[in-house]
Amino acid sequence: MSERLCPRDEADVVEAVRWAVSNERTLDVAGSGSKAALGRHIQTDVTLELKGLSGVTLYEPEELVLSARAGTPVAQIEALVADAKQMMAFEPMDFGPLLGLPAGGGTLGGLMACNLAGPRRPSAGAARDHALGIRAVSGRGEAFKAGGRVVKNVTGYDLPRGLAGSYGTFAAFTELTIKVLPRPETVETLLVLGLDDAAAASVMSGAVGSYYDVSGAAHVPADVAARIPVVAGAGRSVTALRLEGVKPSILHRRGKLEEMLRARGALSFLDADGSHAFWRAMRDVLPFALAEGGNVDTAKAVWRVSVAPMAGASIGAALREAGAMSFYDWTGGLVWIEMADAEPHTRRVREAVAQAGGGHATLIRASAPVRAAEEVFQPLDAITGALVKRMKSGFDPGRVLSPGRMYAGV
Amino acid sequence: MSGLVMPEPKADVLARRSQIIADLRAIVPGEGVIDTETEMRPFESDGVTAYRQLPLAVVLPSTTEQVSKVLAYAHANGIPVVPRGAGTSLSGGALPLADGILLGMGKFNRILDIDFANRSVVAQPGVTNLGITTAVAHEGFYYAPDPSSQIACTIGGNVGENSGGVHCLKYGLTTNNVLGVEMVLITGEIIRVGGKHLDSGGLDLLGLIVGSEGLLGVVTEVTVRILKKPETARAVLLGFPSSEAAGACVAAIIAAGIIPGGMEMMDRMMVHAAEAFLGAGYPLDVEALLIVELDGPEAEVNHLIDRVAEIGNGLGCMTLRASTSEEERVAFWAGRKAAFPAVGRISPDYLCMDGTIPRKALPEVLNRMEQMSEKYGLRCGNVFHAGDGNLHPLICYDANKPGELEKAEAFGADILLLCVEVGGVLTGEHGVGVEKRDLMPSMFDETDLAHQQRLKCAFDPDALLNPGKVFPVLHRCAELGRMHVSGGKLPFPDIPRF
C-alpha cells in the first residue's frame, strides 16, 4: 500500500496537491477507501485520504438542504436525516457487500465522485440530481466552489453535477451541499410471480407508466431470487413494484395495480419490513455479494449495464448463454450481471449493449490486473475522448489526481 | 442600455461581411441566410428587449450537417456565433453580436421519436416545450418542466438555460428530465451524450452541457423523459395576514413530509394586480396568498389536502379554499399565471428579477426590498416559487421618464446582491446571460470563475460561442492554462501522513 496523506482541512488538501504538482508525484484521491476496487486499477505515489475532513456543517430540514465535509461517513448522514424523517432520495447504493467489505463504509465525497444511485433512480434521480454545491481542490492546487445551497440555481456552469461521477480525476471534493427530501411514511411491494424477462419488462413498463406512482420496479429471475431470503420461498421469478407514501394512497394504488396485473401472473406482496429487505438487496446487489474479506481478484466478475428499460432483457439473454446470471432494476434498464467466473468477457458485454441500442457497461468487480488492462468504463468515442482530455488539462494539467482511474490519459 | 459592455466587434470580420455571407449561402442555400437590416430586425433582441443589436447575419440551418459546416466555417474564420431558439430568454442569452452569426434553430422543429414503453421522446431543439407535452398527451403523458413561456420557448433553449417552472420542486429542472443530446462543437465535430438509458456510467458531460447558455456547443437533438400525468390535481388557496405567517406555513408543509406539485406565494400588491386584471376571486384582505397544489393518485391528494388545510388553520390563515373541480383549480392558478400581464396593466414597464434565497430568509428579504422600494421610489411586487425559494420581484418603472430605467436596474441589482448576501444565488431559472453577467463576482471569486472558464476552454478555446455572456471577463485560454504553483520541492508537505 502506498503512503497515505491525511489532510485535516481544505488548506491541507491544497498543500498536498501543490506538493504533488511541484514534485511530480501522483495522488490517489480517496475518502475512506471503501470503493478503492472500483475503476481502472492505477498505481499512484501517495493516497490522498480525505476521511479526516468530516462533519455535517449545515442541516436545515425545512429547507431540504444538508452540507457536509467530503469525508463525512454516509451512514452518519443517513442516520441524521432519518431522525428528521428525511432521506437522500436517490437511495445511494453501498458497494461494500459487492466488494467483500463491511456495509456502511463510504463517505459523502465518494458517493458524489461515483454518482451513486439506487432503485429510486428512475423517479428520483441519482446523486448528481441532488448535488447543489461543492467546494473542491483542483489538480492546480487551487480551492474553488461552484453551485450554491438552494435547489433552484442556474448561476454559472453546473460543475457540482458535472463533477459527479468524475472519480476524483478532476478535483478532490472538500465539502458538498445536497438536497434532502421527506422520507415516505410507509412502503409496500406488489410482486408478480413467474414472469420471464421479456414479460416482466412489459409489466414494469406498464406499471411505471400508470397513474400509480411506482417508485421502484425490478425483476429477479428464479435463480437469482433463490439468493434473496425474503422472496426465495416463491420458487419462481419475482417482478417487484414498490409503492411508497401515505397509507391510504398505497392501499388505493395497490388495489388498482392488482386489477391491472391480475391477468399477468400470480400476485403476492411484501409488507414494510419485507420491502426494506428486498429493496436493500436490489440497491446493494446482495445476490452477487462477496463474503466479507472475500478476494475480489478471484471472485466472479460483475458488470453494471444501463440501457433503455425495454432493452434490458436482451442483455440478460445474450449473456446467459455464457453462463452469466442477471437481474434487472430501474424498470428493466439497469442490468446487474454476475459472470460465470473471474473472466469478464468484455467484448461480449459491450456488443450486447450496442445491439440493445446503446447505453453503458461498467466492469464493477474484477481482479486488479484485469482492471489495469481493460476499459472499465464505457469507452469514449475519439471526439469525446479528446474533449475529456482537454477538460483534464484544464483542471489537472500535471495529471496528479488519480490519473487513469477512469480513462487512460485522463 | 446602461453601461453594458459587449466584446469589441472584430474589424476584420466586419470588413469581410459580404464574402462571409456568400460563403454561408453556399452552406445553407435559399432563404436560410438573412442579411438585410429589415429582415434581421426581428432577431435583434430576445425577451430582454432593452438590449438590441443587429447581427452580422442570421443563419437558419435545417440539418445537423449544415450546423456542423457553419460552425466549422466560423471556427476557421474566427467569427463569433450566437445560438438562438425562440428568443424568449429573460437574461439576454440570445442577444446578437455585430460581428457574429446569429444561428437560429427554428427549423429544427420535428419530433423524431415517441417511445411510450421507454417513456422518452427524441425531439429536435426547435420543438416548443409545450409541443412535447402536446405530442404525448393522448396517452396521458407529459413533459414535466413548465417554464411560463412554455407555449413559445424551445426545448433546445430549455437545455441551454436549464429552465425550471412552477413544478420543479417535485419534478425537477430541465437537467433532471433530459436523458441525452446530440451536440455540435465549434470545430464542427458532432458528439452524442446519453440516450434513452439513465446516467453516463462515468463522466457526466450532460450535466455540464445543460445550463451552459450556448457557450459550449449547439444542441441539434434532445432526448427527454416523459411522465404519466398525475391522476388528480387539486389546489388550496391560503391567505395570511403576513408574509412571515405564509412562510411559516410553507416550512410546516415541507416539515410534515409533503412535497406539493406546486407551491406559489404572491404578495399583497400582486394579489390586487391579478384580481383587478381578471377577477380570479382572490381575497383582497390578505398580505400574502399561497397556492398549494397537490397532485397524484386521488386518494393521496384528498388525504394531503386535508393535512395542508390543518396546517394552514393552525398557523392562522384568514382564507382557506380547496378546489373541488378542475375548473376551480384552473381559476386558482389563472391569477398567478397572469401575474406579469397584470403588472403590465398597472405599470408602463417592469423588470422581472429571478433570484433564489433560502426560504427562511423570505421575511428579511421582503422587508429590505420594501426599504429599497422607498429608496428608489419604485413599486415592486413579488411572486415567489415558495417551495424552492425562487423569487420573482417585478420592479415597476416608466421607460419614458428619464433615468427611471437606470434606477430600476440599480434596484434590481440590489435585490440580487441581497439574495446572495442571505445565502442565495443570482439566478434561479432565467440564466446569467448579459443581464447578470457583471454581478457574477458577487457570488464567485476569480478562482471559481477561472475553473468555470477552463471548462469553456476545453470546448471552445477561441471563445467564439456566445462571447460576452455569463462571464464578466473572458480570460484568454492560454492565460488560464498556465500553472502558478508555488511551494518548494519538499520531500513531504506538512500534513499528517502514514
Torsion of CA A133, A139, A143, A145, to 10 degrees: -20
Q: Which pTM does this prediction carry?
A: 0.97
Contact indicator for A183, A82 with CB cutoff of 8 Å: yes
Domains of chain B: 11-104 (3.30.43.10), 232-340 (3.30.70.3450), 347-431 (3.30.70.2740)
Q: Give CA separation, A69 vs A56, A109, A110, B461, in Å.
A: 6, 8, 11, 34
Give B218's strand partners: B184
d(CA B413, CA B398): 18
List the single residue in A117, A157, A249 with the smallest CB-CB distance to B299. Answer: A249
Nearest CA in chain A to B390: A152
Note whether residue A217 is domain-resident.
yes
Residues A350 and A240 in one domain: no
Nearest CA in chain B to A381: B191
All 3 cell numbers of residue B92? 439576454
CATH of the domain at A226: 3.30.70.2190
Enumerate long-range contacts of B37-45, CB under 8 Å, 24 or more apart. B40/B102, B43/B84, B43/B87, B43/B96, B43/B102, B43/B104, B44/B96, B45/B87, B45/B92, B45/B95
Q: Which residues of A touch B485 (CB under 8 A)?
A: 18, 21-22, 140-141
Note whether residue A289 is domain-resident.
no
Return the SS3 of B114.
strand
**Do B230 and A211 lie within an 8 Å CB cutoff?**
yes
Tell which A residues from 269 to 308 touch B, by Cβ distance under 8 Å: 304, 306-308
Predicted local distance difference test score (pLDDT) of residue B166: 86
Predicted local distance difference test score (pLDDT) of residue B280: 85
**Do A155 and B385 lie within an 8 Å CB cutoff?**
no
Within 13 Å and on the Cβ side, how many CA atoms surround A297? Answer: 4
Residues A174 and A212 in one domain: no
Mean model confidence pLDDT for chain A = 97
Domain stop point among A260, A284, A308: A284
DSSP H helices, A284-331, are 312-320
DSSP summary character for residue A127: G
DSSP summary character for residue B139: G
Residues A178 and A221 in one domain: no
All 3 cell numbers of residue B387? 417551495
Mean pLDDT, residues A295-315 taken together: 97
Amino acid letter for position B295: D
Q: Which residues of A touch B495 (CB under 8 A)?
A: 5-8, 12, 15-16
Q: Is the pLDDT of residue A239 over 50?
A: yes
Q: How many CB pairs under 8 A join A and B?
A: 327
Domain stop point among A284, A305, A336: A284
Predicted local distance difference test score (pLDDT) of residue B487: 59
Q: Is the pLDDT of residue A189 over 90?
A: yes
Contact indicator for A116, B198 with CB cutoff of 8 Å: no
Return the SS3 of B71.
helix
d(CA B493, CA A137): 16
Residues A35 and A156 in one domain: yes
- Residue whose C-alpha is closest to residue A171's, from A406, A357, A395: A395
Within 13 Å and on the Cβ side, how many CA atoms surround B135? Answer: 22
Residues A253 and A300 in one domain: no
Amino acid letter for position A332: G
Domain stop point among A245, A261, A284: A284
Predicted local distance difference test score (pLDDT) of residue A1: 54
Give A217's strand partners: A241
Q: How far is CA B271 from the centre of its chain?
A: 24
Residues A7 and A85 in one domain: yes
Amino acid letter for position B258: I
Note whether residue A372 is domain-resident.
yes
CATH of the domain at A321: 3.30.70
Predicted local distance difference test score (pLDDT) of residue B105: 98
Q: Which residues of B touch A207 (CB under 8 A)?
A: none
Phi, psi of A186 (to 5 degrees): -155, 175
Chain A: give the shortest CA distance to residue B48, in Å.
Answer: 18
Contact indicator for B280, B334 with CB cutoff of 8 Å: yes
DSSP summary character for residue B428: S
Residues A15 and A151 in one domain: yes
Q: Which residues of B touch A202 (CB under 8 A)?
A: 117
**Do A158 and B185 lie within an 8 Å CB cutoff?**
no
Residues A275 and A317 in one domain: no
- Residue whose C-alpha is closest to residue B480's, from A393, A158, A157, A409: A393
d(CA A110, CA B82): 38
**Do A154 and B211 lie within an 8 Å CB cutoff?**
yes
pLDDT in tens, B345-358: 899 999 999 999 99
Tell me the residue range of the domain where A92 lies. 1-183+380-410
Q: Does B297 touch chain A (CB under 8 A)?
A: yes
**Do A165 and B176 lie within an 8 Å CB cutoff?**
no
CATH of the domain at A153: 3.30.465.10
Chain B: give the shortest CA distance to residue A344, in Å.
Answer: 17
Cell 397584470 belongs to B342
**Do B201 and A306 lie within an 8 Å CB cutoff?**
yes
Radius of gyration in angstroms for the set of CA atoms belonging to chain B, rounded to a whole number:
24
How would you list the strands of the sheet with B178-184, edge to edge? B111-115, B120-123, B218-225, B178-184, B190-194
Residues A341 and A227 in one domain: no
**Do A154 and B385 lie within an 8 Å CB cutoff?**
no
Residues in chain B, pLDDT under 50: 1
- Residue whose C-alpha is closest to residue B122's, from B235, B225, B266: B225
pLDDT in tens, B176-223: 999 999 999 999 999 999 999 999 988 999 999 999 999 999 999 999
- Residue whose C-alpha is closest to residue A270's, from A224, A294, A234, A306: A234
Q: Which residues of A touch B483 (CB under 8 A)?
A: 21, 140, 397-398
List the single residue in A122, A151, A154 with the smallest CB-CB distance to B431. Answer: A154
Residues A389 and A269 in one domain: no
Question: E strands within B305-347?
Answer: 319-322
List the single residue in A6, A152, A166 with the smallest CB-CB distance to B496. Answer: A6
Neighbours of A404 (CB within 10 A): 18
Contact indicator for B102, B60 with CB cutoff of 8 Å: no
Domains of chain A: total? 3
- CA B352-B355-B361 angle, 5° bins: 125
| B100 contacts: CB under 8 Å, gap ≥ 6 | B55, B56, B79, B80, B81, B82, B467
Q: Is the pLDDT of residue A93 over 50?
A: yes
Return the SS3 of A370.
helix
Torsion of CA A176, A177, A178, A182, to 10 degrees: 130
Residues A203 and A233 in one domain: yes
Helix axes of B268-278 and B326-337: crossing angle, nearest 10 degrees: 110
Q: Give CA separation, B371 vs B159, B395, B495, in Å.
A: 37, 13, 50
Predicted local distance difference test score (pLDDT) of residue B3: 72
DSSP H helices, B164-223, are 168-171, 174-177, 205-209
Residues A362 and A402 in one domain: no
Q: Does A382 touch chain B (CB under 8 A)?
A: no
